[in-house]
Structure 1
Amino acid sequence: MQIRSRAALAAALVGALSLSACAPGGGSGSSSADADNTISIVGFAVPEAANKAIAAEFQKTPEGEGVKFQTSYGPSGDQSRAVAAGLKADYVHFSVPTDVDRLVDEGLVDEDWDQGENKGVVSDSVVVFGVRDGNPKNIKTWADLVKPGVEIVTPNPASSGAARWNALAAYGQVISDGGTDEEATDYVDAFFKNVVSLPGSGRDATTAFLGGTGDVLMAYENEAILAAQNDEGFEYVIPDTTLKIENAGAILKDASAPSQDWLDFVISDEGQKQFALTGFRPIRDDVDYGGVVEGAADPNNPFPPVKTLLTVDDDFGGWDEVTPKFFDEENGIIFQAITGAGLSLE
């Protein structure tokens, strides 16, 4: 099966994507005099609400006073390719670090972008199962997802970083339970045979599920919480074994003047508080967000401990090993599972 041309897609995105004002603090455009005081954010779709909340708080600080924002959100991989092809960005917020590494390879981001105390991570979450009200299919475990008749919605790993976390969680839970690589591969083959929709991004997957597609949505925990905050909620299950999601943020080499202050604020306690209030798990355990997050399954205990929480570094050997093994376009385990199930990577 022919996988879409990434270069052609990126070129199309640069032509089609426009940076829109990020409320608060933005206008429909900015003069050259304003350019040095405007931060262009290019990110994956899921954290848009969080970044807006953080922007509002940042503009209350001396460093953020008068700063304007322009934003573009979409599937993480597509957004990264668009920046590499020329889409204007000062700060990028991507689902997976490899989408930032692409910009390092293009000479747009410093090689040491992930050497700080936070290792380049600006937001955390975990993989969960979104289910219909009352959980009519009684979906509680990974084994339940591959039962006959269960229809899964998950984004497309050819474009979406969220999809890659979901797929790795599906594979990793087998290994964590003592299974072999062969058994884990068999599981993801069965998993994708139950997939009925592969939308382009995590946000598009949520929209499809809310529109009635599928029995279960593979999602970020924060996406489920945000949906509830927007009165579009669905129940969600945190499986006993799941994967820690670590989203990457970086500024470009030619970023506008306030961009470093913005990144510093994003990873500060106040920035992480705003992430928490929109459903993300703070990157530090000591962040005080008030203890209550509306929209969570239990607002007073919004981020319960996970029995077995996998990480890419500890359980998969890091992204340098993950990318060729799982997401190579010809031989990657996940891409082969998708095409083997008769699904399209287009």
Structure 2
Amino acid sequence: MSTDNTDRVGIIRGRRVRRGAVVLLAGVVAGLLALTGCVGGAVGSGPGGTTLHLVGFAVPAEANKAAQEAWAKTPEGAGVTWEQSYGASGDQSRAVVNGLKADYVNFSLEGDVTRLVDAGLVDPSWKDGPTKGIVSDSVVVLAVAPGNPKKITGWADLIKPGVRIVTPNPASSGSARWNVLAAYQQVISAGGTEAEAEDYLRKFFGNVVALPGSGRDATTAFLQGTADVLISYENEAILARQSGETFDYLVPDDTLKIENPGAVLKDADPKARAYLDFVLSPEGQQAFAGKGFRPVVEGVAVGEVAGANDPANPFPPPLRLFTINDDLGGWKSVNEKFFADQTGLVPRIQAETDRQK
């Protein structure tokens, strides 16, 4: 069995990753098999049912697993098995375009679904529903070592001398792009100019000590003690703490709303649409909330969420929450301004600061 594109899944599941520890290959493989099985291997109910292929970015793997288990108890989900591939969002999107089998995709960025629309694999109407194609929400948070030894309280502290940052690489990771946009927009939100926001990003990247390929890889690097602060999804921090990791995280006063899309491919088995409908139901969103994601629909009984700073109130509203569409002009504008090859602000700053990998 191949393990392509699953090497980023389950690294902090199934074995405890301690600071300074070396992640042993055997432990990684065990975690992968426990979580999703190998690519090409079915996971789910017994033989005789439908097999669905899910391709996604690494971060929501546990949430999808919880939703699949809940869906399996319904008449539509009974008997469905899963073959799944998880990795960095952009890499996964390109893999589907290049022939990786998928019925349902769950990516970090809208643009990774748009790539499939442009390739004729997903219908252009994929985001016409009430949630505009979004299946999970989160916010950008700052994770710090236990006790917060560097006394990090917000964005301003990240550019101080000696603060070591780990964040995924924007070239491959969707979560990295959310992180960088949050770092930029918090300057604007506080009344700063674009020039000041650009200067902040330059200092920010100057303090980056690692740019792993995905959000999950970044979490692993942080847990191994390579940095003082991890820029992350709130749900990723919560899930790591559910897995027994000991670190603190804080929701900055100014942060960005993360909106992750899901879509069904044109030639998908009809059961894939039924799964997407379930994910967007209150019961499906409850499964996602249990793994640290903020619900995207009304009427979800969240309950207590283990791993959150306050399990009884796991998703406090930030003081100022900005969005891609309302504050940054939408993804088309964002991609051109920030991430276009050679000309985008972020690739340019990465080159200037020698932080490209």
TM-score by length of 2: 0.88
Mapped to 2, the partners of 1:319 and 1:118 lie a distance apart of: 16
Per-residue CA deviations over 1:18-40 (Å, capped at 9, x if unaligned) read 6254643378xxxxx76xx1110
- Confirm or deny that 1:235 pairs with 2:255: no
Change (3 A) 1:233 1:91: farther
Gapped runs of 5+ residues in structure 2? 9-37
Q: Offset of 1:241 from its aligned partner?
A: 0.2
Mapped to 2, the partners of 1:26 and 1:93 lie a distance apart of: 24
Mapped to 2, the partners of 1:281 and 1:267 lie a distance apart of: 12
Q: Which of the numbers 188, 195, 198 marks the counterpart of 2:201?
A: 188
- Confirm or deny that 1:339 pairs with 2:351: yes
- Is contact 2:281–2:297 with CA below 8 Å preserved after alignment? no
Per-residue CA deviations over 1:258-292 (Å, capped at 9, x if unaligned) read 111000001110110001000001112431122x1
- Is contact 1:23–1:52 with CA below 8 Å preserved after alignment? no
Q: Which stretches of structure 1, 4 residues or more, deviate above 6 A after TM superposition?
A: none
Q: Which of the numbers 207, 212, 230 marks the counterpart of 1:199?
A: 212
Change (3 A) 1:222 1:188: same
Aligned to 1:24: 44
Mapped to 1, the partners of 2:106 and 2:264 lie a distance apart of: 9
Task: Specify the code of the residue in structure 2 equivalent to 1:222.
Answer: N
Aligned to 1:119: 132
Task: Specify the code of the residue in structure 1 equivalent to 2:211.
Answer: L
Mapped to 2, the partners of 1:78 and 1:25 lie a distance apart of: 29
- Confirm or deny that 1:141 pairs with 2:161: no
- The more displaced of 329-338 and 67-76 is 329-338
- Is contact 2:134–2:296 with CA below 8 Å preserved after alignment? yes
Mapped to 1, the partners of 2:184 and 2:346 lie a distance apart of: 9
Per-residue CA deviations over 1:24-72 (Å, capped at 9, x if unaligned) read 3378xxxxx76xx111000000000000000001111011111111100
- Is contact 2:52–2:272 with CA below 8 Å preserved after alignment? yes
Mapped to 1, the partners of 2:46 and 2:247 lie a distance apart of: 32
Mapped to 2, the partners of 1:25 and 1:144 lie a distance apart of: 49
Change (3 A) 1:293 1:21: farther
Q: Name the % identity.
A: 59
- Is contact 1:89–1:255 with CA below 8 Å preserved after alignment? yes
Task: Specify the code of the residue in structure 1 equivalent to 2:45.
Answer: G
Aligned to 2:311: 299
DSSP 3-state at the match of 1:135: coil
Mapped to 2, the partners of 1:87 and 1:200 lie a distance apart of: 19
Gapped runs of 5+ residues in structure 1? 1-12, 28-32
DSSP 3-state at the match of 2:277: helix
DSSP 3-state at the match of 1:297: coil
Per-residue CA deviations over 1:76-117 (Å, capped at 9, x if unaligned) read 000000001110000000000000000000000000101111
- Confirm or deny that 1:310 pairs with 2:330: no
Indicate the RMSD between aligned Cα atoms, in angstroms: 1.6
Mapped to 2, the partners of 1:20 and 1:232 lie a distance apart of: 30
Alignment of 1:1-346 (within 5 A): 19-21=39-41, 23-25=43-45, 37-290=50-303, 292-345=304-357
TM-score by length of 1: 0.91
